[in-house]
A and B are shown apart, each in its own frame.
Chain A
Amino acid sequence: MPDLRPVEESSIPAVLPTAGAGVADPYLHLRHIHKRFGSFTALQEIDLAVQRGEFICLLGPSGCGKTTLLRIMAGLEKPDSGQIWQGGREITTLPPAQRDFGIVFQSYALFPNLTAADNIAYGLVNAGMPKRQRQQKVEELLALVGLSGSEGKYPAQLSGGQQQRIALARALALSPGLLLLDEPLSALDAQVRANLRGEIAQLQKRLGVTTVMVTHDQLEALTMADRIVVMNQGSIVQVGSPWQIYHHPASPFVARFIGMMNFLPAVIQTSDGGGVGVRCRDYPLRVVSAQSWPIGSAVNLAIRPEDIRLGSLDYETENTLTAEVLRSEFLGSVYRLWLRVGDGLELVADVSAQASRHLGHETRLRLQLPSQHILLFADANPLPAQ
Chain B
Amino acid sequence: MVTRLTTPAGSPPPPLRVAAFSEVWVQRVLIGAVALWLLGVVILPLAEIVGRSLLNAEGEWVGLANYYTYFTTPGLSVSLSNTLWVTLSSTLISVILGLGFAYALTRTCMPGKGILRLVAMLPLYLPSLAQAIGLIYLFGNQGLISTGFFGWLPEWRIPLYGRIGIILGEVIYCFPQAVLILSTALLLADARLYEASIALRTSPWRTFWTVTLPGIRFGLVSAIFVCFTLVFTDFGVPKVVGGNFNVLATDIYKQVIGQQNLVMGATISVLMILPTGIAFIIDRLVQQRQVAMVGSRVVPLQPRPQPWLDWVSFAFCALLAGIILLVMAALLVASLVKVWPYQLSPSLRHYNLNAVAGGGYAAYGNSLRMSVYTAIAGTSIVFVSAYLVEKCRAWQPIRSLIYLASTLPVALPGLVLGLAYIFFFNTPDWGGIPNPLHGLYSTMALLVICNIVHFYTVGFLTASTALKQLDPEFEAVASSLKVPFYQTFWRVTLPLCLPAILQIGTFFFVQTMVTVSAVIFLYPPDLRLASVAVVNMDDAGNVASAAAMSTLIVLTSLAIQALYWAATQRLRRWSQAWQQR
Contact = CB atoms under 8 A, between A and B. Distances in A.
Are A and B co-members of a single complex?
yes
Contacts of B24: 95
Interface stretch (B302-310, B322-330, B509-517, B572-580): B572-580
A105 B577 CA distance: 23
Interface string B210-248: 000000000000000000000000000000000000000
Contacts of B19: 97
B471 interface: yes
B433 interface: no
B477 A170 contact: yes
A386 interface: no
A346 interface: no
A122 B496 contact: no
B484 A87 contact: no
Contacts of B575: 113
Contacts of B200: none
A113 B477 contact: no
Interface string A107-129: 10101111000000011001110
Contact of B482 (A74, A157, A174, A206): A174
B500 to A, nearest CB: 14
B289 interface: no
Contacts of A173: 481
Looking at B474, B492, B575, B578, which has the most chain A CB atoms within 10 Å of its CB? B578
B577 A102 contact: no
B496 A95 contact: no
B79 to A, nearest CB: 47
Contacts of B7: 175, 177
Contacts of B18: 97-98
A105 B477 contact: yes
Contact of B476 (A109, A177, A206): A109
A102 B474 CA distance: 13
Interface in A109-167: 109, 111-114, 122-123, 126-128, 140-141, 143-144, 154-157
Interface string A45-87: 0000000110000000000000000000011100000000001
Interface stretch (B9-17, B68-76, B119-127, B454-462): B9-17
Nearest to B495: A113
A365 interface: no
Contacts, number: 120
A95 B6 contact: no
Contact of A122 (B22, B471, B478, B577): B478
B6 A74 contact: no
A42 interface: no
Contact of A96 (B14, B480, B496, B578): B480
B17 A128 contact: yes
Contact of B13 (A97, A100, A105, A123): A100
A171 interface: yes
B196 interface: no
A255 to B, nearest CB: 34
B1 interface: yes
A113 B578 contact: yes
B18 to A, nearest CB: 6
B293 interface: no
B539 interface: no
B5 A175 contact: yes
A89 B19 CA distance: 19
B487 interface: yes
Contacts of A174: 14, 481-482
B491 interface: yes
A208 interface: yes
Contact of B480 (A74, A87, A114): A74
B12 A175 contact: no
Contacts of B60: none
Interface in B19-70: 19, 22-24
Given A95-B22, A114-B491, A109 B477 contact: yes
A103 interface: yes
B199 interface: no
B451 to A, nearest CB: 32
Contacts of A111: 474, 491-492
A233 B472 CA distance: 25
A103 B471 contact: no
A53 B9 contact: yes
B487 A76 contact: no
A126 B480 CA distance: 12
A55 to B, nearest CB: 14
Contact of A74 (B5, B476, B492): B476
B9 A97 contact: no
Given A95-B22, A95-B479, 12 more contacts: A17-B9, A95-B23, A97-B479, A105-B477, A107-B473, A109-B471, A109-B477, A123-B482, A123-B483, A127-B482, A154-B577, A154-B578
8 contacts: A95-B24, A96-B479, A111-B491, A128-B17, A140-B1, A154-B577, A157-B580, A175-B7
6 closest Cβ contacts across the A-B interface?
Answer: A123-B481, A109-B473, A96-B479, A154-B578, A105-B473, A97-B479
